[in-house]
Structure 1
Amino acid sequence: MTISPLTLPDAEHAEEWVRTRAEEGIAAARALIDGLREDPPTEAMAALLVWDEAALQLGNVAAMGSLYGNVHPDEAVRTSAEKAEQDVMRLMTELSLDRGLYEVFAGLDASGLDEQASRLMAKVLADFTRAGVDQDDETRARITAINERLTEIDQEFGKVIRDDVRTIRVAPERLAGLPQDFLDAHEAADDGLVTVTTDYPDAVPTRMFAHDQDVRRDMTVAFLERGWPATDPLLREMFDLRHEIANLVGYADWAAYDADVKMIKEGPAIPAFIDKIADAAAEPMERDLAILLERYRADFPDAERVPNYDAPYYEELVRKEQYDVDSQRVRTYFAFDKVRQGLLDVTGRLFGLRYERIADATVWDADVAVYDVHDAAAGDDTAPLGRIYLDLHPRDGKYKHAAQFTLTDGVAGRQLPEGVLVCNFSRGLMEHDHVVTLFHEFGHLVHHVLGGQVPWARFAGVATEWDFVEAPSQMLEEWAWDPDILSSFATNAAGEPIPTDLVESMRRSDDFGKGYTARVQMFYAAMSYYFHVERPADLTARMIELQERYSAWPYLDGTHMFASFGHLGGYSSGYYTYMWSLVIAKDLFSAFDPADLFDEAGTGVAGRYRDCVLAPGGTKDAADLVADFLGRPYTFDAYAAWLAE
């Protein structure tokens, strides 16, 4: 049976489509659940099939709500999508606290189930317990109210960040140093001033290249002030409510509750891991900071530290002067259209995939490109493995960072996986850092599609422990650094490929600063952990303390970076995830031959990686997936060696 991808609505019918899809999905799930209650199956497998189908229906609504709420150009559609997400979250909370449903599953004999069904049964029962199903009526009612409010807060937090685009206005001559294509795209208004926004295509090059220190500082302040003061009370309420719900179900704090279903397992292991990374990064950080400060003192002799508003600019000077890497020259090799096609060519060749552009697909914005993903080894007439949407440029009302959003989870024989890459890149030339980000985020998309061929919705796609999900994407970044791979698509206006010696210099220069970059990441991780565990009344004061303890950069007076730190919503107390995943990613990459990263037709190391790590989705624990691929448990060794280089 051929399964077709979704047909999305045009602009005129989008709001109606969102409402209808939500109503029908929730109604279908309710009908399935009512059947479980009223006529419980006597066989465990039958009950699991009904439950998983209901979960799939609700997942479809939640995914649509999250995606359209973050990307649709029409505010009315975004509002309807947010309501749909609220409705499905409300129902999911209701079901998770339904003692009658729990008793249906707890009373079933699971002894005859196969390995995956047994795993699912264990997860279902654990979900009920974590939700608080065994609590008294009053406690369950309070948990319900908290969950509803947390959904509202998370949506409002994201909305504030999404909509709060700040600007600086400067005379054209004060933008000296910026690339010519940037200057051409930023004409002066009638009053003679140029408007520069805090969206990434403006903010990043302004901080990197503007010669005027005041411009760099003004942009940094504007960027760090997004969300302030509106999100401060939202965050404090969020932390308090998360702590309360953790206490209600028997955990010391939210971090302990959240860690219980992750690889790290225990809340106190999070600060221990943060300090382990911070200690390992201390010597590399001091070494590179000394180099950066020496260069900075050439212009500011009395400086004791490099301020964060000057760091990107002076990093570029060090890379240019000491590593012979001029980022403005580098970006001439990375025209957006070539990079996008190169990404598809590289990942297709690596994983044995073929991408077919669907030019007539209906999308929510004209910028969105749509591709069906096929198994390259299969015939041209075979059904696709899934569908992907690339929404890669900024616009008003759109999510401001880079992420993969689910549209539908893939379940074998039931539903195709469809995923959306949401980024904010330049339409013209790209910084190489953004090329790396594009490869990273596309790694999530490949994981979503390849892992979307499993038989259970619960295990579909990127359904592993949350502190593992970044590892496959971080590993794919390596392919954005290989000279041979880059030369296949990175060409300048004359069609000349990026020189190998330039890529090698770029890689050496990228290693500069990795110690203090790791420390900054640990500052963010510590903030996400301690904000949840301590719930400080003054978030700014605690942020400053943690910045001084972990970060390489001094606090910039009057700024409130945490106010737009969107990961406090989704990752909550677990921002350590990025570094935890990087440790595993470095170990995964150690299995590849760095001299030959391509693996024709996906039959060798890359094929084994695809089949052992990506394709299983969440059907196994992440540690087991990694061990299946490496032939051993993962270790800290590869990361430590890389950091010490």
Structure 2
Amino acid sequence: MTPLDLPAPSETLAWMKERAVAGLARARELADGLRSSPPSDATETLKTWDEISLELGNVAAAASLLANVHPLEDVRTASEGAEIEVDRLVTELNQDRALYEVFAGLTVPEDPLAARLLEKTLRDFRRAGVDRSDEVRARLKEINERLTELGQEFSRVIRDDVREVRVTPERLAGMPEDWLAAHPAGEDGLVVVSTDYPDSVPARMFVHDAGVRRDVTIAFLERGWPHNDAVLREMFELRHELAGLVGYADWPSYDAEVKMIGTGPAIAEFIDKIAEAADGPMRRDLDVVIERYRQDAPGGTAITSADLSYYQELVRKEQLDVDAQLVRTYFDFGKVRAGLLDVTGRLFGLRYEPIEVTTWHEDVASYDVFRVADSTHLGRVHLDLHPREGKYKHAAQFTLTDGVAGRQLPEGVLVCNFSRGLMEHDHVVTLFHEFGHLLHHVLAGHGEWTRFAGVATEWDFVEAPSQMLEEWAWDASVLQGFASDAAGEPIPAELVAKMRAADDFGKGIQARQQMFYAAMSYRFHEERPAELTQRMVELQDRYAPTSWIEGTHMFANFGHLGGYSSAYYTYMWSLVIAKDMFSAFDTADLFAPDVAGRYRDKVLAPGGSKDAADLVADFLGRPFTFDAYAAWLAD
């Protein structure tokens, strides 16, 4: 098996079109065979169905990636079209009664994975409305196609809506020197601060001028507005209609059925449970921040997101002795990337071999991944880590190919937007987090079934392995292996300890912010309010640590409303599990091979071949609990 041979950027349009046509045709051919002359053996029938998934997945994965990263607009547009075609065929196949009868009549195979696939396949048919009337199934097809279009439109608007704030250089006092050097004033004497992360994050953290912080924050929060307001309202209505047509009370109930949490109402209960647990820690830390804020704004009683990051950093610097600008001098991007590969290679017994291959952009760095123990070629990863026009604006792992034993190697892509120079430590943590998804994809890409390949667990578990990997970005001995200043001096352990304490300082604030996002995600879908802004403000008042900035509409660029829909709670649900899993590691020896190997083999490598709760229990030797998270939050 060899990795995918990607075309040159100028040849990608024809390649993507050809790949889509061939993959869709092959899937239809296989489906026709199942209808007309299905294999007599249940396992062979399931293998044919899984081959259809592989063909469609190969089209959809490449299309999703290229729609978000390719520099040519016509390629992005064609890729979005290919995604729609795949979704249309998936809906068609899952609503096909003749195919359903083939699978409904199968004897449950003795092989447990084949039996698991049959169970999930029958569930997919039911959730697609295979047992509904012709009229209902036709409407479901229309809804699914329109939802794909809306999801693409929502993401595209956010991706392309890069806003700018233009200010005189003196108003940027407080910004890091390397940032200022990289952003000279233009002919008009003004410096451009964009809403891309390498500009907006440091501006909101470091600029002394409150007016600049506010302008940058408002520009950031207003991305996607007003266009996405109508997009989202239509999306929520269609999701609700879809759920009702297949027998569910609402979209959250439909969506939660296939997740660990199980039911829609359980989402609301979980959000309030976390909000209550975080209330005391939030108020304790917020009081400190507001007290510092009042030194500059006498009489101030509330703080907005335009000032929160700045004053949290002041508290960390003045009271906790952590200067974020000093911290960032230890995190040169090139050293961090090399360190990430070294750390994860050592932890999981992997070797990354840099390779020169054709990709969609010159920024992309590619590596073949090998298992150290036997030099087995496990897959390929591509790192696309810097911002550019037309590129996805957040941080995520994209699949290029799913790995299936004897069929194809897994390939994954990390898509982020980091500085090319010095990095904030928060961004280092994000890089470790997202790389956790990439490792999960590669390590779980060697099973027999496409359905269970890669990050194929329940959606509210997928963040847990990545959140746990963040812990290695907070350990002094780990960081000292790659974090060094311009003179080559490693980051002091004392500074890392202070960084950890400073990060813990705001964890209650962060938890409540996450619950605001989760509540918005859930309530928008459950209630489908006519006035999204008004409902957002109400939920912000109830859950968030900061007050609303009048006239802003952050939901219009909250990209998780597309992919995560009503389930943004999953980040915190996963964190509960991540904290419990990390409790199995010895903090004095994070590279201990026995526990790291057990975690790799019990949690990551199986992919979706077991329920997530069983994977965690296999690793911990017991079911996961809330205890480790609660203790961490209260500390």
Residue matched to 1:444: 437
1:513 is displaced (CA, Å) by 1.1
In 2, Cα distance between the equivalents of 1:475 and 1:613?
A: 12
Q: Using the alignment, how far apart are the partners of 2:77 and 2:373 within structure 1?
A: 43
1:482-561 matched pairs, under 5 angstroms:
482-561=475-554
Specify the alignment match of 1:563 in structure 2: 556
Within 5 Å, which residues of 2 pair with 1:631-642?
Answer: 631-642=621-632
Matching residue of 2:581:
588
- Name which of 199, 202, 222 aligns with 2:199: 202
Q: Do the aligned residues in 2 keep the contact of 1:289 with 1:516 (CA within 8 Å)?
A: yes
Residue 339 of structure 2 aligns with an amino acid whose one-letter code is G
Corresponding residue for 1:146?
143
Q: Please state if 1:263 is matched with 2:260.
A: yes
Aligned to 2:615: 625
After superposing the two structures, state which structure 1 stretch, 370-379 or 429-438, moved more. Answer: 370-379
| Aligned-pair CA distance for 1:132 | 0.6
Q: C-alpha displacement at 1:539, in angstroms? A: 0.2
Aligned to 1:71: 69
Match of 1:396 in 2: 389
Match for residue 361 of structure 2 among 341, 362, 365: 365
* 1:215 aligned partner: 212
Gaps of 5+ in 1: none
- 1:473 and 2:466 correspond: yes
The residue aligned with 1:13 is: 11
Distance in 2 between residues matched to 1:313 and 1:108, nearest whole Å: 62
Query: Cα distance, 1:307 vs. partner?
Result: 2.0
Which whole-Å CA distance do the structure 2 matches of 1:295 and 1:533 have between them?
39
CA deviation after TM superposition for structure 1 residue 12, in Å: 2.0
Matches within 5 A, 1:47-126: 47-110=45-108, 112-126=109-123
Contact 1:461–1:618 (CA under 8 A) maintained in structure 2? yes
**Aligned-partner Cα distance in 2 for 1:336–1:516:** 28
SS in 2 for 1:113: coil
Secondary structure of 1:208's match?
helix
1:140-189: CA deviation from partner (whole Å, max 9, x where unpaired)? 00000000000000000000000000000000111110001100111111
The residue correspondences of 1:31-46 to structure 2 (distance < 5 A) are: 31-46=29-44
**Are 2:126 and 1:129 equivalent residues in the alignment?**
yes
Contact 1:167 1:222 in 2 (8 A): yes
Instruction: Give the one of 352, 356, 363 matched to 1:355.
Output: 352
Cα offset for 1:561?
Answer: 0.4
Structure 2: unaligned runs, 5 residues or longer = none
CA contact (8 A) 1:44 1:113 kept: no
Match of 1:29 among 27, 30, 41: 27
Which of 600, 613, 624 is the aligned partner of 1:610? Answer: 600
Over the matched positions of the two proteins, sequence identity in percent amounts to 70
**Aligned to 1:58, what secondary structure does the other structure show?**
helix
Provide Cα deviations, 1:215-250, integer angstroms capped at 9, x if missing partner: 000000000000000000000000000000000000
Instruction: Give the secondary structure class of the aligned counterpart of 1:303.
Output: coil
- The question of 1:157 aligning with 2:154 is answered yes
Give yes or no for the alignment of 1:180 onto 2:184.
no
Shift of 1:113: 2.8
Give, in whole Å, the separation in 2 of the partners of 1:319 and 1:440.
23
Matched AA of 1:426: S
Letter of the 2:286 partner, please give it. Answer: L
Distance 1:532 1:216 in 2: 32
1:190 maps to which residue? 187
In the alignment, which of 439, 454, 463 is matched to residue 447 of structure 2?
Answer: 454
**Of 370, 374, 378, which residue of structure 2 is paired with 1:378?**
374
Question: Could you tell me which of 398, 414, 424 is aligned with 1:431?
Answer: 424
Counterpart-to-counterpart distance in 2, 1:68 and 1:186: 29
Give the TM-score, by structure 2 length: 1.00
Q: Distance in 2 between matches of 1:30 and 1:411?
A: 21
Pick from 388, 393, 405 the counterpart of residue 398 of structure 2.
405
Looking at structure 1, the residues matched to 507 and 457 of structure 2 have their Cα atoms a distance apart, in angstroms, of 28
Give the match's secondary structure for 2:445.
helix
Match of 2:276 in 1: 279
3-state SS of 1:310 partner: helix
Distance 2:111 2:572 in 1: 35
Measured in 1, the distance between the counterparts of 2:99 and 2:372 equals 44
Are positions 1:305 and 2:298 aligned together? no
The CA deviation at 1:425 is: 0.1
Number of residues of Structure 1 aligned to a counterpart in Structure 2: 635
Structure 2 counterpart of 1:391, which letter? D
C-alpha RMSD of matched pairs (Å) = 0.6
How far, CA to CA, are the matches of 1:373 and 1:184 in structure 2? Answer: 37
Q: Report the Cα distance in structure 2 between the residues aligned to 1:424 and 1:484, rounded to whole angstroms.
A: 27
- Partner Cα separation in structure 1 for residue 303 and residue 547 of structure 2: 8
1:318 corresponds in structure 2 to 315
What secondary structure is seen at the aligned counterpart in 1 of 2:422? coil
- Please, which of 326, 329, 337 is the counterpart of residue 334 of structure 2? 337
Query: Could you tell me the TM-score, scaled by structure 1's length?
Result: 0.98
Name the amino acid aligned to 2:574.
S
TM-superposed CA distance for 1:587, in Å, is 0.1
- Kindly state the Cα deviation for residue 108 of structure 1 after the two structures are TM-superposed: 1.3
Q: Is the 8 A contact 1:60 1:408 kept in 2?
A: yes
SS in structure 2 opposite 1:386? strand
Looking at structure 1, the residues matched to 155 and 368 of structure 2 have their Cα atoms a distance apart, in angstroms, of: 30
Displacement, 1:306? 1.8
Structure 1 segments of 4+ aligned residues over 3 angstroms from their partners: none
Match in the other structure for 2:251:
254
Q: Distance in 2 between matches of 1:345 and 1:264?
A: 35
Query: Do structure 1's residue 295 and structure 2's residue 292 form an aligned pair?
Result: yes
SS at match of 2:165: strand
Aligned-partner residue type, residue 273 of structure 1: F
Aligned-residue offset at 1:300: 1.3
Structure 1 residues 288-322: Cα deviation after superposition (integer angstroms, max 9, x where no partner): 01111111111112101122201111111000011
Deviation at 1:43, TM superposition (A): 1.2
1:620 partner amino acid:
K
1:597 aligns with 2:590: yes
Q: Deviations over 1:65-121 (max 9, x none)?
A: 1000000000011011111111111100100100110001101112x4301000001
Shift of 1:516: 1.3
- Does structure 2 retain, via aligned residues, the 8 Å contact 1:150–1:241? yes
One-letter amino acid matched to 1:413? G
Contact 1:528 1:574 in 2 (8 A): yes
Per the alignment, residue 245 of structure 1 pairs with 242
Give how far 1:479 is off: 0.1
Are the aligned partners of 1:45 and 1:113 in contact in 2 as well (CA < 8 Å)? Answer: no
